[in-house]
Amino acid sequence: MASDKVHEFTDGNFEESVLKSDSPVLVDFWAEWCMPCKMLAPTIDQIAEQFEGKAKVGKVDTDSNRDISVKYGITAIPTLMIFKGGEVTKKFVGLAKKDDIVEALESAAG
């Protein structure tokens, strides 16, 4: 991961890091072999920098974290989900535009 602001979420820490977070969380479900995921990575890094202190940004490697991927019905990647108060408030499947992601995260952050 390029940015130290991007967290790594796993089956083991997802509940604590995402669902119980006091701030909104942008989760990028991705895999190493996924070219669109790699194309989206710099955007995720930029959003993590932009929202530092306002929202958490992180990634779930779907190959290594099957439980959480299955729980949220991830059938295509990249899939981005914004969580607030333990609930999904917005979902993007495929390559999403930075402006759309930022707008949805700003809305969640209030």
The domains of the chain are located at 6-109
Q: Is the dihedral of CA 48, 89, 11, 79 positive or negative?
A: negative
**Residues designated catalytic:** 34, 37
What is the distance between the alpha carbons of residues 61 and 71, in angstroms, rounded to a whole number? 14
The CATH class, in words, for 6-109 is: alpha beta
pLDDT, tens only, 34-93 = 999 999 999 999 999 999 999 999 999 999 999 999 999 999 999 999 999 999 999 999
Q: What is the pTM of this model?
A: 0.96
